[in-house]
Structure 1
Amino acid sequence: MTYVALSAWFLGGAVVIAVIASLVAGRRRASLAGVGITVTVLVVLTAVFDTLMIATGLFHYSPGHLLGIHIGLAPLEDFAYPIAGAIMLPAVWAALRARRRSRIGSTGGEDRA
């Protein structure tokens, strides 16, 4: 399996989970602007630090499994993981908060969030 195929499966799974979590969260879903800013910051950080790690020889990729597109020294496939995290985690967090609020509301307890 190539890195791009693995990245595509990982990113696709994260998007599916994010969509389901957003539906569960309802009105309290994650902010699209916040997710966009987070994706931008993580892409920049990934480009900088992956380039540094690759340049110092901490790791390398087999060229036969890459698309050949790089940002700095970081292959394009390396950006799928931080993007997936930035898309999925806020949606899951919002869904868990919405679920917690609905559970607390139905039991008559106080919401301390």
Structure 2
Amino acid sequence: MTYLQLSAWFLGAAVVIAIGLGLLARGRRPHPGAVALTVLVMLTLTAVFDTIMIASELFHYAGPQLLGVHIGLAPVEDFAYPLAGALLLPALWAALRARRGTPRTAPSDQEAGA
């Protein structure tokens, strides 16, 4: 299995899960602009820090399993994981907030027995 195939399966699963979680969120979905900004920041950080780590020889990739497209020194396949995280985490957060329901308020005088 190539890195591209592994990344595609991982990213595909993340998208399916994020969509499923979005359906559970019941109107409390993440703001698309915030998700887009998060994706942009995560991809930029991945490009910078992967390039630094690869340049300092902390790790390397086997050549034949790579697509051959790089951003800096980072192979394009490496960007699937931060993209998946940037899609999954806001969807999970929104689903958990929706599951919690409406915030509790102080009981009214009638409920308190006054």
TM over 0.5: yes
Q: Which residue of 2 aligns with 1:17?
A: 17
CA distance in 2, matches of 1:26, 1:32: 15
Partner of 2:112: none
Paired with 1:7 and 1:31, the residues of 2 have a C-alpha distance of 25
- The structure whose Rg is larger is 2
Deviations 1:32-71 (A, max 9, x none): 1111000000000000000000000000000100000000
Question: Partner residue of 2:58?
Answer: 58
- Quote the offset at 1:30 in angstroms: 0.9
How many aligned residue pairs are there? 105
Misfit runs of 4+, over 3 Å: none
Q: In structure 2, what is the equivalent of residue 26 of structure 1?
A: 26
Distance 2:88 2:79 in 1: 14
Task: Please give the secondary structure, in 1, of the residue aligned with 2:61.
Answer: coil
Look up the SS of the partner of 1:26 in the other structure: coil
Q: Say which structure is richer in helix.
A: 1
Query: 1:68 is paired with a residue of what secondary structure?
Result: coil
- State the partner residue of 1:79: 79
Sequence identity, in percent? 63
AA matched with 2:60: H
Cα deviation for residue 27 of structure 1 reads 0.9
**TM-score, normalisation: structure 2:** 0.89
RMSD (Å) for aligned C-alpha atoms: 1.1
Q: CA deviation at 1:101?
A: 1.1
SS in 2 for 1:84: helix
Rounded Cα–Cα distance in structure 2 between residues aligned with 1:60 and 1:89 = 28
Amino acid at match of 1:96: L
Q: Structure 2: where are the runs of 5+ without partners? A: 106-114
